[in-house]
Structure 1
Amino acid sequence: MDKIQHSKFYSIFFDTLSKKMVAGFLLIILIGTVLLSLPIATRSGQGTAFIDVLFTATSATCITGLTVVNTAANWTTFGQVVIMVIAEIGALGYMTFAVLLFNVMRRNLNLSTQIMVKESLNLENLHDTKSVMRYVIGLSALFQLLGMALFAFDLVPRFGWGRGLYVSGYHSVMSFCNAGFDVFGNSLMSFRNDSYLLLVTTVLIIAGGLGFLVWRDLLLYHERHRLTLNSKLTLTTTISLFIVGFLMLLVTERNLHWLPAGTSWFNRTVNTLFLSVTPRTAGLISLPTDSLHAGSIFLIMILMFIGGTPGSTAGGIKTTTFGVLMIQSIAQLRGKKDAEFAHRRFSQSNVSRALLLIFMASVVISIATLILTQTETIPSRYGLEYIVFEVLSAFGTVGLSLGLTPHLTVIGKVVIMLLMFIGRVGIFTTLYSLSKRQVKQNLIRYPEENILIG
């Protein structure tokens, strides 16, 4: 009886926790919507349509970058800064800033706050909370300031000191946060011949999408002389996807042979490299997506679906989910019962959770795609990929587009906003906060029997 009561207590507690996390992100979106609705936020001084303001605030909070209005043309410096700030909060998690406030006020974290931080950053243990928070805040500040300094070498000579530093800081934040917003008007298409800027952006995207727990493991390796299983799997999967994606895009795009004849081989390769990294939820693009070959678009959709690392600024189903299922599949094909990696065995609950995540994500994506096929108009030169690409981009909080987002209907905007929110908050957190399930103790177990599969 005590065990049942214990389970019910934790069920109620985590149900409340999930609702608080969802409510926290909704509050950020609400604040962003109010600020962006002010006349001072738009260049026209007359404000922007409410649905477009809400869409922008949602996209920024969910660090996606999909926009129905051009960021550079529509928003003033005030509006752009609002977008940058809520993107920063959305990327690091609102709990990060809550903990920072607690530290400034020199107050200790209570148990519920520590558990919320643990869940928002996907930590395994409560005692990791304080140390990880220091790494989250410190590493974020370090990477973004360093990125700003590196961009300034390139952008200050172009725009002058004032504008150059502002653009450098803005682009550094959006690159590290994998947010996808830009103040250039056409993402990074004006910089396709600037290999230096593209390479710095690539490093920042990877840094933000790798995950704070992995960075902590790497920085403490000289003391511990070991990496956690999570970090090993993350690094292995990330590097493998990076290499495979790059090589496949070299093939499908023939190393961007359609670029002007004067474009150097090195610059083509850097742009291809950037193209293989940005679908991992960054959303910045140096090449028009609608000019890519069908094979490249399909590959990008796969990369968007996988996304980045748990506890990072990235979205998608995450690299660890993909890695666990790949290892489990290989083990099954070899006739092994257990999924083993780095001399460790994944628990069955890990595998089951990964399978459930893939299934639920597929259901959400399928429903959203079906709705959009009924509400949106597909251009004659496209097929279903025109819709699916946008759906995966929103769910993976990527921000890439084949051109659908600016032309979305009101229903379409609502669907994409819901996808961005689910993709950022997490499908489990979102669905669990909406459910009213109660813990049920199975007192009877029926006989086991097999059916035909495949």
Structure 2
Amino acid sequence: MRRFLTNVKLTPPQFLVFVFLGFILLGTFLLKIPFASTEPISWVDALFTSTSAMTVTGLITVDTGTAFTVFGECVIMLLIQVGGLGIMSFAILIFMMIGKKIGMRQRMYVQQALNQTTIGGVILLVKRLFVFSIISELIAVILLTIRWAPEMGLGQGLYASVFHAISAFNNAGFSIWSDSLMGFVGDPVVNLIITFLFITGGIGFTVLTDLWAEKEFRHLSLHTRLMLIGSLIINVFAFLIIFIFEYNNPATLGPLSSGEKILASYFQAVTPRTAGFNTLDIGSMEDSSIILMLLLMFVGGGSASTAGGIKLTTFLIICFAVYTFLRGKYEIVIWKRTIDPHLLLKALAIATIGLAFIFTAILLLSITERHTSMLPLIFEVFSAFGTVGLSMGVTGELTAIGKVIIILIMFIGKIGPLTLAFSLARQSTEKIRYPRGDILAG
């Protein structure tokens, strides 16, 4: 494998795309093995499940807990772990374990996979990534086993804990129960452990590494401070809105006690970025709550994380750019730091390309899924692009073509719209500069 990584002539974006495709196809074949499922499943459903697991999305066309055997569920867990932490991260870990030298090209692949701006420090980031993920998942498994073993038995409780810990930390949203975590809507232990896992996994490994190295908030990098404060604000805002909108909804928060309403609102506010678990029936939520969740799923989590979406910092850079324009200024300044204009161009490119893919998918689904209401289809596309996994209950009803469309959107959402664009684009070496021109805008 090392020789292949060294001699391959693909650019880092192209290599990332092909490796992801390879693992998705491998997962598809494994899930089609007769003893991987309790009943025969179609190739499209196997491909859909493999893609959903590898892209840590969580959308399903067949029920995970009933359609797959323990072997099939273990394949899904493996795909989730590899897809969440990154294929190249696992490759680098293997190189380090067998004492192989890690060359410049391999570091470039890791840099692309983890969305880093420089090559420096990527190996240290990989080491800390694995240490933190293993510790987090192990602690969660122990705590969840203590919670579930008494009522499920030690074996089943341990297995459920391992599956959900891996799924939660990697922001996958897969569950072995048909109703996800709705049966634990008022359980503080399950709610807090699961949300801790997917918030931690979704905030970004760069942020976690920075928090590991620095003890004082003022010494943290601009990216880390922006992620922490931005995540806090958007989570609190989402919690308040969902709590207000769903308070009297008899199909969601209405029948719950005050404490359960707070817990359920909190869980449903943080899960769209981009965990995919749910303790409330998504299809029964108010349209206003659904619209808010569309925005949350589009924004997603942090860069270099297990989450999807355009990423919170991308969204915040665009917001600060708008604020800067309204103030009549020309430079984006955040906490006395000037933002490079190239970052704004990158943020706009990511958001624009992402919206273009989403619009195209919605348009195509409106043609292929004429039997389905429009809002659930829109929700499905946003969930797939953000690799969230939440659904209003239409995934299993999609036509074969509709499933393929969602598969493509999940894939694009995971590798990133800009990575896909770079993998398809020809690299320009042109250095000619032309005179400035004026265009009327607005």
Q: Normalising TM by the smaller chain, what interval?
A: over 0.9
> Partner residue of 1:307?
300
Query: Which SS does the other structure have where 1:186 is aligned?
Result: coil
Aligned to 1:17: 12
Distance 1:238 1:15 in 2: 36
Q: Per-residue CA shift, 1:71-112, capped at 9, x if unaligned?
A: 001000000010001110000010111011101111110110
Give the letter aligned to residue 431 of structure 1.
A
1:85 counterpart (78, 88, 108): 78
Q: 1:402 to 1:254 in 2, by over 3 A?
A: same
Change (3 A) 1:391 1:258: closer
Greater Cα shift, 143-152 or 67-76: 143-152
| 1:317 maps to which of 304, 310, 313 | 310
Report the CA distance shift for 1:51/1:317 in structure 2 as closer, same or farther (over 3 A). same
| Residue number in structure 1 paired with 2:27 | 32
Matched, 1:293 2:283: no
2:45 aligned partner: 52
Pick aligned residue for 1:448 from 422, 429, 437 = 437
Query: Please, which of 391, 402, 412 is the counterpart of residue 401 of structure 1?
Result: 391
Task: Report the 3-state secondary structure (helix = DSSP H, G, I; strand = E; otherwise coil) of the residue aligned with 1:154.
Answer: helix
Q: Does 1:247 align with 2:237?
A: no
Residues 80 and 170 of structure 2 are in contact (CA less than 8 Å); yes or no, is this contact kept in structure 1? yes
126 and 154 in structure 1: CA distance in 2 versus 1, 3 angstrom threshold = same
Equivalent positions of 1:118-129 (< 5 A) are 118-129=111-122
Q: 1:237 offset after TM fit, Å?
A: 1.5
Check the 8 A contact 2:246/2:254 in 1, yes or no: no
User: What's the RMSD between the two structures over aligned residues?
Assistant: 1.7
Q: Which TM-score applies when normalising by structure 1?
A: 0.92
Q: Which runs of 5+ in 2 are unaligned?
A: 1-7
CA distance in 1, matches of 2:248, 2:310: 28
Determine which of 100, 105, 108 is the counterpart of 2:101: 108
1:144-202 deviation line (CA, Å, top 9, x unaligned) = 11111111121111111111101011111101111011112211111113222112111
Partner residue in 1 for 2:4: none
| 1:286-335 deviation line (CA, Å, top 9, x unaligned) | 11111100110000111000000010000000001011111111111111
* Residue 208 of structure 1, aligned match among 187, 201, 212: 201
Shift of residue 224 of structure 1? 9.7
Instruction: Tell me which residue corresponds to 2:410.
Output: 420
Contact 1:283 1:398 survives alignment (8 Å): yes
1:303 & 1:31 partners in 2: Cα distance?
Answer: 32
How far residue 431 of structure 1 moved from its aligned partner, in angstroms, is 2.0
CA contact (8 A) 2:93 2:127 kept: no
Q: 1:99 aligns with which of 92, 95, 106?
A: 92
Higher mean alpha-carbon deviation, 154-163 vs 125-134, is at 125-134
Candidates 340, 343, 348, aligned match of 1:347: 340
Aligned to 2:172: 179
**Contact 2:86–2:113 (Cα < 8 Å) also in 1:** yes
2-structure distance, mates of 1:29, 1:142:
27
| Stretches of 4+ aligned residues off by more than 6 angstroms | none
1:190-269 superposed matches below 5 A: 190-222=183-215, 226-254=219-247, 258-259=251-252, 263-269=256-262
Q: Hey, what's the Cα distance between the residues in 1 that align with 2:245 and 2:116?
A: 39
Give runs of aligned pairs for residues 101-180 of structure 1, distance below 5 A.
101-180=94-173
Per-residue CA deviation, residues 327-370 of structure 1 (Å, 9 max, x unaligned), is 11111111111111121011100011111111111111111110
Residue by residue, what CA displacement relative to the aligned partner does 1:41-91 show, whole Å, maximum 9, x if unpaired?
A: 0113xx311110011000000000000000001000000010001110000
Give yes or no for contact 1:256–1:272 (8 Å, CA) kept in 2.
no
**Which amino acid in structure 2 is aligned with residue 214 of structure 1?**
V
Residue 389 (structure 1) aligned with residue 379 (structure 2): yes
2:421 alignment counterpart: 431
* % same residue: 36
Distance in 1 (alpha carbons) for counterparts of 2:189 and 2:380: 29
Whole-angstrom distance in 2 between the partners of 1:221 and 1:314: 23
